């Protein structure tokens, strides 16, 4: 691999790369210095004059992912150097940069990661066909065909590929379709987050950077949206350089590439990645030097503009009027002919999927609160609420739960309008809408938890359900208003991004020659803050802004879009609420002492003691994970670190081999006590090593980065085997007596959950368990564990969305306790909301179940 790069990227090619990078950065630096002064002037003027839109009603969390990680688990990764698939452990921190290790033990020991993937600019693919379509355009005149790419033979039928137009490609695969969907959602979230790399909080650097990039591309006759405007500044600048550099290098290098089709494609991708790395390093160094230069002159610029602010504003208005007189007639003519007829159709194409996405955000948030209210009816304690709030607090950053919201917006299509208005792809607008949806969800969750926490401090436990309802109604109303405001602003910005580049492209040839003479009207002292190019664009923007505002205003009247009218303004409707905005995120389990935190801490303390991590184990225990792990390494690693030769697709056991192993375990277990569980804990099949083929993996609480709780659950049946049948008789008798003392019956559903959660290799005959009740009576809290009833074929019955939540509800805690004792025990969190009906009959049923187990 190094020979290919060194032979084709010789000294002359590297000189070309350095020269082209210097040219682009030199021109960009000139534009950036100009736009930096203009952006600084606009910020100071805004600070003095004020302004802005409606005040948001929801609170905004400043550091949403503090002490949180997003996801972790194992994937099979393709190694290009030896053509093997190797099982590796992946960890996604709050930065959304993916770290991967040789195994989970290396991660737990805080070793340096094997590699880090920054997903900015990548696309997540789930089929080889999609990948071959993209790489077929990498070399001119070379087309890839199915079956002609031996350098990438996927070991399973569920691939995951990260594709980039310039950088290295990453190849992964999983064993099940459900696992592929979960990882796809996580990787998409990483791409979405890293693409949004420029912070809007920086009111000078961000607008100066974006305007400089846009003006540079316009000088190259590249108008319209740009898909590669993603990542941090150094990545965006590298994409800007590669846009012109890569075709030049391809003409020089591609004739010298030898070998078959797949070899040439592979070598070209290696060369492209090496060039991209060189360019990015040079762009990073030169941009940092440019930024230091501008920041050094910032104080003197600000002092001069504050002194002459009134004169600068007057001079700018005078020049604007002169330019408007020349440009406006041409702009209005173009607007009438080429823009106005398309405003309504483009707005409808934007509004339909975006409004459905925000509506789905509202529904997901509402369903989570309804589930919490239902479980609060069963056990009205603050500890129960704390357990649910731990699950809800990171809802916006749960890619699996938010996936249904994101999919609504992905239906956005501008087909038929892209070529006319030079819109490269609607993905720019899709990702922006998805980021706004995530922000709105987090604002709603954060506002709800602050209001609820304030109410719980002064409310008695008898009023908990009513308190939740009142807080829910307040937050939903605020969400509806903020959602309307955010969507209208998004529609206006999207329409401007579509129309303005088109208008500038049409007007520039006739107006560009007249602009220099207006520069003479500006005093030299003010010339750094007033640029005729910026004024020209502002005149074009204002010419179309009136029509866009009118179109959005008319759309707000239509009820189907669920938008507030502009005349409805909620200002200071809840002034006391914004006082809570400075509060940090609430540690619910730490403050109210939920059971989930105790279990998590116990498991992780045991793991930390086993590995001797000390303080590092304590820090890791405090970092909670948003999404539950797919893969839990509670069993030995496969021989040879799970290295699989590429042609050996059958080396990775699928479901049939897994079922055969489970049948062998059943035949060898005999009496059905703890031996079967012990064998399953010590023997690991490749699907268990990889992840979601094991039904236990989704039972793991999200706060754990290891399988310690799973190990404890596997150890319990062994202890029960030593105690024998008397333990079961005693537990069942206590359960029946407890029910008689309470005078109220419970459904037989907890026993059904125990039956469905037991793995297939745990020898418990079906005759010992009561028949399952109808599915309509399943409590909301138990729905997360019900799909685990068929571990032999996990992909046959897709679980409900709650199965992927990764958050453990109070009901699942009760299920764990029952599984450890292998007998029903009265768990208040498992009570059905309709438990008052037929309580005496249910108590008799429960007693008969206990007698059956005693026999």
DSSP letters spanning 631-676: ----SPPPGGGG-EESS-GGGS--HHHHHHHHHHHHHHH-S-SHHH
Listed ranges 317-321, 614-618, 842-846; the one with the highest mean pLDDT: 317-321
Q: Nearest-CA neighbor of 447 among 326, 320, 577, 552?
A: 577
Which of left, alpha, beta for 672 (phi over 0: left; psi -120 to 50: alpha)? left
Residues 6+ apart with CB under 8 A from 680: 665, 714, 759, 761, 762
Q: Is the pLDDT of residue 217 over 70?
A: yes
Tell me the C-alpha distance between 330 and 218, whole Å. Answer: 20
Give yes or no for residue 801 having a pLDDT over 60: no
The predicted-structure confidence for 71-110, as pLDDT tens digits, reads as follows 999 999 998 888 889 999 999 999 999 999 999 999 999 9
Look at residue 200 in the predicted model and tell me its pLDDT. Answer: 84
Question: Sign of dihedral through CA atoms 137, 141, 146, 149?
Answer: negative
Question: How far does Cα 739 stand from its chain's mean position?
Answer: 45
Residues 6+ apart with CB under 8 A from 170: 77, 117, 161, 162
Domains in the chain: ranges and CATH: 2-47+201-230+232-306 (no CATH), 68-195 (2.30.29.30), 317-561 (no CATH), 724-854 (no CATH)
Give CA–CA dist 461/468, Å, rounded: 11
Residues 523 and 501: their CA atoms lie apart, in Å, by: 29
pLDDT of residue 726: 38
Q: Name residue 1's beta-bridge partners.
A: none
Query: Residue 161 forms beta bridges with which residues?
Result: 125, 171
Task: Report pLDDT for 141.
Answer: 58
Work out the average pLDDT over 127-152: 69
Alpha-carbon span 177 to 794, nearest angstrom: 9
Q: What tens digit of pLDDT does each residue of 224-266 get?
A: 888 899 999 999 999 999 999 999 999 898 888 888 888 888 8
Long-range contacts from 449-453, C-beta under 8 angstroms, 24+ separation: 449/389, 449/392, 449/393, 449/585, 449/586, 449/588, 450/59, 450/577, 450/580, 450/581, 450/583, 450/586, 451/475, 451/577, 451/580, 452/385, 452/389, 453/586
Indicate the pLDDT class of residue 572, thresholds 50, 70 and 90.
Answer: low
Q: Count the Cβ atoms, other than its own, within 10 Å of residue 421.
A: 22
Dig out the tokens for 550 from the structure: 């009118």
Which of the given ranges, 1-15, 221-235, 571-585, has the highest pLDDT on average? 221-235
DSSP state at residue 579: G
Sole residue written with tokens 């801490």 = 601
Task: Decide if 300 contacts 36 (C-beta within 8 A).
Answer: no
Q: How far apart are CA 586 and CA 364, in angstroms?
A: 21
Tokens of 511: 């107006």
* Sequence-ordered alpha helix ranges (H) in 9-127: 11-49, 104-108
- Does residue 765 surpass a pLDDT of 60? no
Given this model, what pLDDT does residue 459 score?
A: 66
Please tell me which residue, 274 or 825, carries the higher pLDDT value: 274
Mean pLDDT of 592-614: 41
CB 75 within 8 A of CB 117: no
Q: What is the DSSP string of 666-704?
A: HHHH-S-SHHHHHHHHH---HHHHHSTTSTTGGGS-TT-
Which is more confident, 684 or 382? Answer: 382
Question: Which one of 492-506, 693-707, 711-725 scores highest in mean pLDDT?
Answer: 492-506
Residue 13, exposed/middle/buried by CB under 10 A (0-12, 13-18, 19+)?
middle
Locate 213 and state its tokens.
């990039």
Q: Are 849 and 770 in contact (CB under 8 A)?
A: yes
User: Mutual orientation of helices 708-723 and 674-682 as an angle, nearest 10°?
Assistant: 150
Distance CA 717, CA 817 (A): 12
Question: What DSSP designation does 338 have?
Answer: I
Of the listed ranges 152-156, 323-327, 522-526, the least confidently predicted one is 152-156
* Spatial distance between the Cα atoms of 755 and 767, rounded to a whole number of angstroms: 11
What is the percentage of the chain residues whose pLDDT exceeds 70? 63
Torsions phi, psi for 159 (to 5 deg): -85, 160
- Residues 6 or more apart from 783 whose CB is under 8 A from it? 800, 802, 803
The three-state (H, E, C) secondary structure of 173-189, written as one string: EECCHHHHHHHHHHHHH
Question: How many H helices and E strands in the chain?
Answer: 28, 10
Measured in degrees and rounded to the nearest 5, phi and psi for residue 121 equal 85, -5
What pLDDT shows up at residue 696? Answer: 38
Q: Give Cβ neighbours of residue 826 (< 8 Å, ≥ 6 apart).
A: 735, 738, 739, 742, 746
């Amino acid at each position: 691999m190094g020979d290919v790069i060194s032979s084709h990227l010789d000294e002359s090619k590297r000189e070309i790369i350095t020269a082209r990078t210097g040219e682009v950065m030199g021109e960009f630096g000139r534009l950036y210095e100009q736009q930096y002064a203009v952006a600084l002037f606009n910020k100071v003027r805004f600070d003095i004059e004020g302004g802005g839109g409606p005040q948001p009603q929801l609170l905004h969390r400043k550091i949403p992912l503090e002490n949180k990680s997003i996801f972790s688990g194992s994937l099979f990764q393709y190694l290009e150097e030896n053509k093997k698939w190797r099982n590796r452990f992946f960890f996604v921190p709050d930065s959304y940069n993916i770290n991967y290790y040789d195994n989970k033990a290396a991660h737990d020991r805080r070793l340096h990661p094997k590699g880090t993937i920054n997903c900015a600019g990548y696309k997540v693919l789930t089929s080889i066909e999609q990948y071959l379509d993209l790489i077929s355009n990498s070399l001119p005149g070379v087309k890839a065909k199915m079956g002609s790419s031996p350098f990438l033979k996927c070991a399973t039928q569920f691939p995951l590929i990260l594709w980039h137009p310039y950088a290295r490609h990453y190849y992964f695969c999983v064993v099940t379709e459900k696992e592929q969907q979960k990882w796809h959602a996580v990787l998409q979230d990483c791409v979405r987050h890293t693409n949004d790399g420029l912070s809007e909080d920086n009111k000078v650097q961000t607008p100066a950077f974006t305007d400089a990039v846009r003006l540079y591309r316009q000088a190259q006759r590249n108008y319209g949206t740009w898909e590669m405007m993603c990542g941090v500044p150094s990545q965006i600048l590298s994409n800007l350089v590669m846009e012109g550099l890569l075709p030049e290098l391809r003409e020089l290098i591609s004739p010298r590439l030898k070998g078959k089709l797949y070899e040439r494609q592979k070598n070209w991708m290696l060369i492209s990645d090496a060039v991209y790395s060189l360019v990015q390093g040079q762009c990073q160094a030169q941009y940092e030097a440019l930024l230091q230069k501008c920041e050094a002159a910032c104080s003197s610029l600000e002092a001069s503009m504050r002194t002459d602010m009134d004169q600068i504003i007057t001079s700018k208005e005078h020049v604007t009027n002169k330019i408007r007189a020349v440009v406006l007639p041409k702009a209005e003519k173009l607007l009438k002919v080429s823009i106005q007829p398309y405003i309504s159709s483009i707005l409808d194409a934007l509004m339909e999927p975006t409004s459905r996405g925000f509506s789905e955000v509202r529904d997901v948030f509402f369903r989570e609160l309804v589930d919490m209210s239902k479980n609060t009816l069963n056990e009205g304690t603050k500890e129960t609420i704390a357990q649910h709030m731990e699950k809800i607090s990171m809802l916006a950053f749960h890619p699996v739960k938010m996936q249904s919201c994101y999919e609504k917006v992905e239906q956005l299509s501008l087909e038929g309008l892209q070529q006319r208005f030079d819109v490269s792809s609607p993905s720019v607008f899709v990702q922006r809408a998805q980021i706004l949806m995530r922000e709105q969800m987090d604002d709603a969750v954060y506002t709800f938890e602050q209001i609820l926490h304030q109410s719980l401090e002064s409310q008695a436990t008898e009023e908990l359900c009513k308190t939740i309802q009142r807080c829910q109604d307040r937050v939903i109303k605020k969400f509806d208003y903020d959602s309307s405001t955010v969507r209208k602003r998004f529609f206006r910005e999207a329409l401007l991004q579509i129309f303005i580049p088109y208008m500038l492209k049409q007007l520039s040839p006739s107006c560009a020659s007249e602009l220099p003479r207006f520069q003479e009207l500006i005093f030299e002292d003010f010339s750094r803050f007033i640029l005729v190019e910026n004024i020209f664009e502002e005149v074009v923007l204002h010419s179309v802004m009136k029509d866009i505002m009118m179109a959005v205003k008319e759309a707000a009247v239509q009820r189907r879009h669920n938008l507030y009218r502009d005349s409805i303004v909620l200002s200071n409707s809840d002034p006391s609420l914004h006082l809570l905005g400075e509060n940090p995120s609430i540690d619910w389990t730490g403050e109210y002492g939920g059971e989930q935190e105790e279990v998590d801490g116990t498991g992780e303390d045991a793991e930390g003691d086993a590995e001797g991590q000390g303080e590092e184990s304590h820090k890791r225990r405090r970092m909670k994970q948003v999404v539950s792990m797919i893969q839990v390494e509670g069993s030995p690693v496969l021989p040879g670190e799970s290295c699989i030769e590429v042609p050996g697709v059958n080396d990775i056991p699928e479901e049939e081999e897994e079922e055969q192993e489970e049948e062998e375990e059943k035949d060898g277990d005999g009496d059905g006590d703890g031996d079967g569980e012990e064998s399953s804990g010590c023997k690991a099949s490749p699907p268990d090593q990889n992840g979601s083929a094991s039904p236990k993996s989704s039972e793991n609480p999200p706060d754990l980065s290891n399988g310690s709780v799973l190990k404890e659950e596997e150890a319990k049946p062994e202890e029960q085997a030593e105690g024998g049948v008397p333990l079961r008789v005693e537990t069942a008798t206590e359960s029946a007596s407890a029910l008689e003392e309470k005078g109220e019956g419970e459904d037989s559903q907890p026993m059904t959950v125990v039956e469905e959660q037991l793995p297939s290799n745990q020898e418990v005959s079906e005759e010992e368990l009561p028949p399952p009740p109808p599915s309509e009576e399943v409590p909301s809290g138990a729905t997360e564990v019900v799909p685990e009833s068929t571990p032999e074929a996990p992909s046959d019955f897709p679980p409900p969305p709650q199965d992927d939540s990764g958050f453990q509800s109070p009901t699942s805690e009760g299920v764990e306790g029952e599984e450890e004792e292998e007998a029903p025990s009265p768990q208040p969190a498992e009570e059905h909301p309709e438990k008052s009906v037929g309580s005496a009959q249910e108590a008799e049923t429960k007693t008969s179940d206990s007698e059956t187990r005693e026999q």
